[in-house]
Amino acid sequence: MSETMTMFGPGMLRQIASLLRRLGCNDAGNVIIIVAASLFPLLVLIGSGIDMGRGYLAQTRLQQACDSGTLAARKRLGTEAAVGGVIPANVADTGQRFFNINFRDGAYGSENRDFEMVLEEDYAVSGLATADVPTTVMGAFGHDTISISAECSSQLNMPNTDVMMVLDTTGSMLRTNPGDTQSRIVALRATVQSFHAQLEASKAAGTRIRYGFVPYSTNVNVGALLQDDWLVDEWSYNFREANGVTITPSIADNYRYYSASRPNGTQTVRNAQWRYDNFNVDLGFLDTTNFVTYPIGGSPSAPYNVNAYYRGCIEERDTYEINDYTNVDLNRALDLDIDRVPDPTDPDTQWRPMLNELSFIREVRNNGSGPFTPGVVTSPYDFVNAWWWGYGACPAPAQKLQEMTAAQVTTYVNSLTAQGSTYHDIGMIWGGRLLSSTGLFATENADVDGSATSRHLIFMTDGETAPLDISYGSYGIEPLDRRRWRPSSSMTLTETVENRFSFACEEVKRRNIQVWVISFGSGNSPMLEACAGAEHYYVADDAVELQNTFSDIARRMGELRIVD
């Protein structure tokens, strides 16, 4: 008998056989076997789901941190980096700091966190972030960590953009700020070149970026940009002509110039004198040449010819003395109506060429004595000539908006010279005129290809408003011509200029133009800050701060975005 049979016996064997037959026919028994057989892979599936879900959360957060790091770095990227092609240490630190804030050390239990950035040829900042996320359940099956990574890239892309730079080129730009080794005008030239390089580096294919310039001081030089019928056919100028009169010897003794001897005390003599007045000049000569000749040099007894040149600076069209700048009549203040196109049949709406040599200030003598006399003055004396005395500066020619190469920008900024007094209003007025899409150059300044143009006016000055009453500027010789101000006005000439500047600034902003204002080496100016607003006003004390200011403007002008 077998060992089994001996152990259980025949009856026991029959019971076991019966049990097995019942189990074989019972479905519940089959389910138990199946569940038992699938328990191991089910545990693997659940464990991997938990760990992979955790890894997915970590991966998403890592991508966000990567994007944040490159965005912050690209925003911080300065002009020097755009030119030099490297990421400066401070920019890299900024990117790393933003990455760390968004994916902290040990986040989701991660280890071996790393973030690296590089500067691409198109000046995008690219990044690669990696980390290891430890597992829980899957560790029991030999998978201790999940490696995650994220790639990211951020670019500062410029939309179609027009930039008008209104630049103070007054005599004070020859000064050197404390701590600098170069004059303000030299620092400005370098800064504008770097600014151009940064914008061009951020320009996507097919994007148009144009640059315009309005150098200003006592006036602006815009003549080359104006159509012929935007200028008057004749205009009145302050100059003189030789004039002989008969006087008694006793009176002649008081004059420098007289002829004939005095045989007795009653005989009269001929005495040559100058007649100073406003003289109408036919401007037809401008059709063939840029100067007109008048015998206004030397002495009244022996005058010699002087050429009066049209250099491109202009006198403004009609305006009036404004006492209430909350209620300006633009039908009278045509100078402040920046979009008005001249009517060739209406001289009031046209501009007047400045003939700088025709700027005698009667009766201010060469020794500085004498009053301002608007009427006719006959005298043997030389009165101050604003141009000859340096009080009628004509800046470098302004430039309309156009695309420019680096070489063209360099050539232009090197042509800027520093001279003249500070009249902020005329700079803002002409900056707005040349940038507006609804005024003088509406066709040229219109949007292209159905894409909106972003328009910016950057106004940079190194000083406070500083007009001179003896200057020959855009409103003539103001104490004599009295078009917007006179010595008896309720406002000073400085207040008049500043109020007109502020009004013109608001007119520019009304045309969907973003105004940026920079005070360079001159401290804070409430008037200038009010023009731009606190968010768009900068104070730069030296050349480095000026560079940083223009760099910040360039960054804020662009559309910072993550590159797909």
Domain C-terminal end among 156, 176, 203: 156
Q: Which of 379, 370, 187 is nearest to 300 (CA)?
A: 379
Extended strands (E) in 381-481: 383-385, 399-402, 454-461
- 17 occurs within a structural domain: no
Same domain, 260 and 311: yes
pLDDT of residue 74: 84
Identify the domain containing residue 144 by its residue range: 27-156
pLDDT of residue 138: 61
**Parts of the chain with a pLDDT under 50:** 1-8, 13, 39, 79, 247, 250-264, 266-269
Same domain, 426 and 371: no
Domain C-terminal end among 99, 131, 156: 156
Do strands 360-365 and 383-385 pair parallel, antiparallel, or not at all (unpaired)? Answer: antiparallel
- CA separation, residue 250 to residues 253, 290, 441 (Å): 5, 45, 62
How far is Cα 220 from Cα 169, in angstroms, rounded to an integer? 10
CATH number of the domain residue 531 falls in: 3.40.50.410
55 CB burial (10 A radius; 0-12, 13-18, 19+): buried
In sequence order, which residues have a C-beta less than 8 Å from that of residue 534 and are 6 or more positions away? none
Same domain, 146 and 181: no
Tokens for 229, please give them. 């019928």
Tokens for 454, please give them. 């972003």
Same domain, 529 and 420: yes
pLDDT of residue 3: 43
pLDDT tens readout for residues 484-506: 999 999 999 999 999 999 999 99
Tokens for 416, please give them. 């800027």
Same domain, 72 and 102: yes
- 33 occurs within a structural domain: yes
Q: Which of 453, 431, 459, 462 is nearest to 516 (CA)?
A: 459
Tokens for 76, please give them. 């911080």
- 89 occurs within a structural domain: yes
- 8 occurs within a structural domain: no
pLDDT of residue 511: 96
In sequence order, which residues have a C-beta less than 8 Å from that of residue 75 and are 6 or more positions away? 156, 555, 560
Q: Which of 540, 464, 470 is nearest to 501 (CA)?
A: 464
- 9 occurs within a structural domain: no
> What is the domain count for the chain?
3
In sequence order, which residues have a C-beta less than 8 Å from that of residue 314 and are 6 or more positions away? 219, 220, 222, 223, 226, 231, 351, 352, 353, 354, 474
Same domain, 485 and 556: yes
- 64 occurs within a structural domain: yes
pTM, to two decimals: 0.78
- 14 occurs within a structural domain: no
Ramachandran assignment for 475, one of left (phi > 0), alpha (psi -120 to 50 degrees), beta (any other): alpha
Same domain, 255 and 378: yes
- 124 occurs within a structural domain: yes
CA-CA-CA-CA torsion sign (51, 57, 60, 66): negative
Domain C-terminal end among 126, 156, 186: 156
How far is Cα 548 from Cα 539, in angstroms, rounded to an integer? 11
Residue entry with tokens 């600098």: 180
Same domain, 121 and 180: no
Same domain, 379 and 481: no
pLDDT of residue 258: 39
Same domain, 252 and 282: yes
Same domain, 215 and 256: no
Same domain, 414 and 554: yes
